Amino acid sequence: MKFTKLGRSGLKVSRICLGTMNFGTKATEEDSHAIMDRALELGINFFDTANRYGVEIENGYTESIIGRWIEKTGNRDKIVLATKFFGPMGPGANDEGLSLYHMRSAIDASLRRLKTDRIDLYQMHHIDRGLPHFKSPATYLGGDHSKLVYPPHLRPGTTWDEIWQGYAQLITAGKVLYAGSSNFAAWNVAQANERAASRGMFGLISEQSKYSLVTRQVELEMVPVCREYGVGILPWSPLGGGVLAGDSLNDGNGRRAGNEYDAETAAKREQFSRLCRSLGEEPPVVALAWLLHNPVVTAPIIGPRTIPQLESAVRAIDLSLDEATMSAIDTIFPGPGDQAPEAYAW
């Protein structure tokens, strides 16, 4: 396994991050525990989850699965544990968002479920533009709250002063070590870190962005701003929702999952598969290796449902892509061409 520092921090994490969104929903608890066992054996020390994962079954279900694994194995201090908060965890007006009120209740609930005394990387799952971000908490929790409307004065998002005050309190209490973000815009990352610096705080060290060969918009502004502020990018959906998965994802009966694509995507997918065959490697391995060639990327977040998928992903760490291969990949999946504004203006 290879390790790198997460953003500008001194925290060392594996170049692959184990994502757990499938735990409990697409992987049983037993299989999820086996995947975490194997991840540690392979040297992966970076585990990512969220309090919303598994909410289809019950609130915090995936965190609870991880907590029972930590309790059973005693492996808490062998991993860098990351989780996220923001989305609705109850029907109340304060059961979502980035307010200090919700932050304190969310962290305590996550700590109980994860059976730990701290979260190493506590991430805002989305920027807080004001309630309701979702139609209503009931949209995701069941029940008919379709007519629920928040008063206009609640619509502005939580201020950075309040957010960083909340983080300061959690860090002082030893419940959180580092702050991260997810699904932010580039200007949100800049604003967050400038406001943190004005308070003498370290600020964000990571940003989870949707980033893959088929989703390269982050190269316009997110990649440059993260490079400038020393924020490590943690790409989620690094296989483009299955487009780059090749034959590695199937429904358990040998049939390829997610194989319904439009003609253009299908053609690109086939070109990419041919290129990967010429390299003697599987498409998901090459797709992950391509991300790892970006120096701003700390670790792609993989979401294996099986141990073979996990083991395949780890091979990407040692796969070096030469300039000709990188150029060929760019031809198949062209990005914006440059950062903004050069990508669209002189």
Cβ–Cβ < 8 Å for 234, 207: yes
Active site residue 150: no
Q: What is the CA radius of gyration of the chain?
A: 20
Q: What is the dihedral of CA 27, 298, 237, 64, to 10 degrees?
A: 30
Cβ–Cβ < 8 Å for 236, 198: no
53, 167, 211, 229: which is the annotated catalytic residue?
A: 53
Cβ–Cβ < 8 Å for 222, 233: yes
Q: Tell me which residue has tokens 């308070």.
A: 199
User: For the chain, where are the E strands, in sequence order?
Assistant: 3-5, 12-14, 17-19, 46-48, 80-85, 119-124, 176-182, 204-210, 232-236, 301-302
Best CA proximity match to 237, nearest among 295, 301, 176: 301
The residues carrying an active-site annotation are 53
